[in-house]
Chains A and B, each alone.
Chain A
Amino acid sequence: MVLLNRVRRYWARHHIAERLRVAFVGRQIVDGLLFKAALIAILISVSVLYVKPLLYMMSTSLKTLPDLLDQSVRWIPNTLEWLNYEKAIGGLKYWRSLGITSFIALTAAVLQTLACGITGYAFARLHIPGKKFWFAIVILTFLIPQQTLVIPLYVIYVKLGWLNTVLPFIVPAIVAQGIKGSLFIIIFRQFFSTLPKELEESARMDGAGAFRTYWKIMIPLSRPALLIVFLFSFVWHWNDYFEPALYLKGADFYPLSLSLEHLQANLNFMSGSSSGLTNVVVDVNEPIKMAAAFLIILPPLILYMFAQRYFVEGIERTGIVE
C-alpha cells in the first residue's frame, strides 16, 4: 500500500504519464511515435505492393523451368540460372540496341534541353508582341494527344525518307518539339521567371547583348533546370516506344524499348543458324522474358541510382509549382 502510494507520487511528480503521452501520442497527433509507426507501416506496405512486380521480374529472371513450375519456390530460386540472361542478351541483340538507344536518347536530350531552354527564356524574359498567344500554343501542343498528329508526321517522314533513321527523333528536338517538349518549355519559363530581373539589367549596363547575357549569365545560373530537363528528356526518350514502333520498321534498327518484341524471332534465328536445323526452336519462356525485361530497364535504373536526388528534387527546385 505504501509502495503503491510512493509509486503514484513519483509518477505524478515527474509527470511520467504526461511524458509518455507526449512521446507516444504527441503534443499533436502527428508528432507522436504511434502516428509515425503507423505512417511508416502504411508506407512500407504500399511500397511492397508497389515494387512487387519489379522483384517478381528479378526473381523470375533467375529461375530454371523446374523452379518456375514448382509451387514451393516463390521468391528465391533453388538454383540461379544465369543462362537466362545470356539467352536474353543474345535474343535482344542487347549491345547493339543499347548503343542505338543511348545514341538517340543522348543526342535528342541534349538538343531538346538547349532548344527548350532558349524558348523558355524567351517566354520568361524577352519582349515579344503576342507572347500570350504563343504561350497558349505551347500549352495547346502539350494537351493535343499524339494520336492526332502521328499520321501526317508519318507521311512527312516517309516523303523525306526519314523512316528507319534517327532523324525523326533528333530534328524535332532541335526545334524544341519532340517528347514533352512543351512541358520542358514551361519548366524553363517558370525557372527563368524566378531569377531576379537585375541580372539582365546589369549585364546590359556592361554592354552585353541578349545572346551574351543568356549564354554567360543565364545558362550558368540555370544548371538545376538544365539538369532536370536533360534527365527527364533522356529517360523519356529512352523509354519511348510509340514513335520508334512507328518510324523504325526496319528489322535491324530498333531501340531497346522495342527489342522485347523481337526476342522470339531472334532466338529462333540464332538457334536455326547455329544448328542448321529448322525444327529446333528456342522457346522463349517466362524466365528469359523477365531477364530481357530486366535488362531493358537496367540502364535507366542505374542512372536513377546515381541521379535520384535530382529527379525527385528537380521539380521542386525549378519552382514549376509557383
Chain B
Amino acid sequence: MTDNSTTGLAMSAKDHRRKRRRQRGREALRGYLFLAPWLIGVACFVCYPLFYSVYISFNKVSIAKDGSGLAYEWIGWGNYRYSFLRDNVFPIEMLSFLRELLFIVPITVIFSLLVAVMLNQKFRGRMFFRMIFFLPVIFATGEVLTELFSQGQGAIPFGDQYDVEALIYGIFSPNVASTIMSVISRFVIILWSSGIQIIIFLAAFQTIPQSAFEAARIDGVTPWESFWKITFPVIVPFIALNLIYTLVDQSTNPFNPIIAHILKNMSDAETGYGYASALGWIYCAITLVPILILARFGRPANKRKG
C-alpha cells in the first residue's frame, strides 16, 4: 500500500484502514466473480447430489403408488446392513475387486516408473516410444476394451504356453490364485492405463537439475547409485501421486464390478436407488481410505520441496 501520510493530502489512519478494507472487499468480490461458475457447478452437481445421495442411502426408495415420483421410507442403516449381511454378491465382489486392486495399482505404477526411467535415457527414437506408450490413453474406451478382453487379447502371450494357470494354482491358495489369474488375463489392458503416469514420472525427472548428476558423476558415483541417491528421493511424492491417480482411475475402469452391481441394483425394484446409493457410499469410503493415507504420505516431501 502506498503511504499517504507523507503527502499533503494526509489521510487519517481510520480512513486509510477503511479504504484498504473496501479495496480488499472489491478484490474478494472480483475473485468470487471469477469463481462463480465453478461455485454454481459445485453446488448443483456435487453438493446437492452428495447430500441427496446420503439421504436416500438411509431410505428405501421406490416408485410412488400414484405414479407421482419417488416414495421414500426411512430405514436408517438398513441398506448398509443389507449390503453386508443379506446381499450375497456385493461383499464378495468388493473383496475380489480390492484384492485385484492390490495387484493392479502397484503393477501400473511400477511399470510406468520402469518405462519412464528407460525413456529418460538419451537415445535415438525415444519420442517414438513415448508415443507408443501414450497411445492407449487415446483409444482405451470401455466397450473396445471389454471386446478385446473377451477375445483373450488382454493376456500376456506366454501365459498359455507354459501353463501358468496350473503353476499358480499349485503355488497359491485358490482365492489368491484366481485373483492372480484374473489379473493375468487382462495384463496388457492393465498396463494400458499407465500413459498419464509415465508422463508424470518423466516430467518429475525434468525437475531434477542436470548439474546434480554431473556433480555426482565427477565424484565417481555410478548411475545406479545416482538413481537411488538423487532421482528416487525426488520422485517419492510422485509415486504417491501416481498411486492416487491410478486408484481414482480404476473407479472408472470398465472391469470394475462394483459399478455394474450398483447399476444393476439401481434398476432393481426390490432394492432401488436407496440401496444403490448406500453401495456407492461404501465404495467411496473404502477407496478414500488408501487415498488419504497416500496423500498424507506424499505431503511432507512436497512441503520440503517448496
Contact = CB atoms under 8 A, between A and B. Distances in A.
A313 B121 CA distance: 16
A156 B139 CA distance: 31
A242 B142 contact: yes
B107 interface: no
Contacts of B188: 49-50, 52-53
Contacts of A43: 118-119, 129
A143 B291 contact: yes
A52 B34 contact: no
A285 to B, nearest CB: 11
Given A30-B223, A126-B30, A146-B252, A141 B42 contact: yes
B145 to A, nearest CB: 9
Interface residues of A, number: 86
Interface stretch (B8-16, B84-92, B168-176, B202-210): B202-210
Interface in A183-235: 185, 210, 214, 235
Given A128-B31, A293-B148, A176 B251 contact: no
Given A30-B121, A39-B123, A235 B138 contact: yes
Interface in B63-101: 70
B46 interface: yes
B138 A36 contact: no
Interface string B142-162: 111001100101101100000
Given A185-B38, A312-B134, A315-B196, A155 B273 contact: yes
B133 A50 contact: yes
Given A122-B34, A127-B24, A142-B248, 7 more contacts: A40-B125, A56-B151, A144-B288, A177-B42, A297-B138, A300-B139, A312-B131
Interface of A: 28-30, 36, 39-40, 42-43, 46-47, 49-54, 56-57, 60, 115, 118-119, 121-123, 126-129, 131, 134, 137, 141-156, 172, 174-177, 181, 185, 210, 214, 235, 238-242, 246, 257-258, 260-261, 286, 289-290, 293, 296-297, 300-301, 303-304, 308, 311-312, 315-316, 320-322
